[in-house]
């Protein structure tokens, strides 16, 4: 994942759930930043050794659906196998498809996240391209 000093994502106020806004110069950077934000919520894995590698290929009807599917794959690995995303390499991406290699670390039990995310929702979902950047907003159900 990108290791910039300035984060490409931020959490916004929401009444009951967690709303995240991510941005990037292109779709690759946008998706990586969104993954970083979710990983922060799930228990950041950058200090852990990557132990599991997953090849991922996704197809969707739109960039919005693709983003939700991407984040759901990361969330699923975390909730079902205790894996935390350590690094992601997007090999190919368009508005409707993505191929990536994900490297996961096994999260020690003592590093369980403070927040229990139930899922990634379509509610309030936005992926848009401006003149210079891509911007996405997504809500995580807690």
Quote the pLDDT of residue 46. 59
Query: Tell me: the pLDDT tens digits for 94-109?
Result: 999 999 999 999 887 7
Structural Rg of the chain based on CA atoms: 14
Q: Say yes or no to pLDDT of 89 above 50.
A: yes
Kindly tell me the burial class for residue 95, based on how many C-beta atoms sit within 10 Å of its own C-beta (0-12, 13-18, 19 or more).
middle
* Domain boundary assignment for the chain: 9-141
Q: What is this structure's pTM?
A: 0.89
Hey, what's the torsion of the CAs at 66, 72, 78, 80, to 10 degrees? -130
Query: Tell me: the pLDDT tens digits for 19-52?
Result: 999 999 999 999 999 999 999 888 765 567 788 9
**Residue 70 and residue 116 in contact, taking contact as beta carbons nearer than 8 Å:** no
The dotted CATH code for 9-141 is 3.55.10.10
């Amino acid at each position: 994942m990108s290791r910039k000093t300035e984060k490409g994502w931020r959490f916004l106020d929401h009444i009951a759930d967690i709303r995240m806004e991510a941005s990037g110069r292109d779709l690759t950077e946008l998706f990586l930043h969104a993954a970083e934000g979710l990983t922060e919520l799930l228990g950041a894995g950058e200090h852990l050794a990557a132990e599991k590698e997953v090849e991922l290929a996704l197809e969707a009807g739109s960039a919005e659906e693709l983003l939700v599917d991407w984040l759901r794959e990361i969330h699923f690995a975390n909730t079902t196998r205790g894996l935390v995303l350590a690094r992601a390499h997007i090999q190919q991406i368009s508005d409707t498809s993505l191929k990536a290699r994900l490297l996961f670390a096994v999260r020690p039990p003592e590093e369980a996240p403070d927040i229990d995310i139930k899922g990634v929702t379509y509610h309030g979902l936005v992926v848009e391209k401006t003149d210079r950047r891509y911007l996405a907003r997504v809500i995580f159900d807690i």
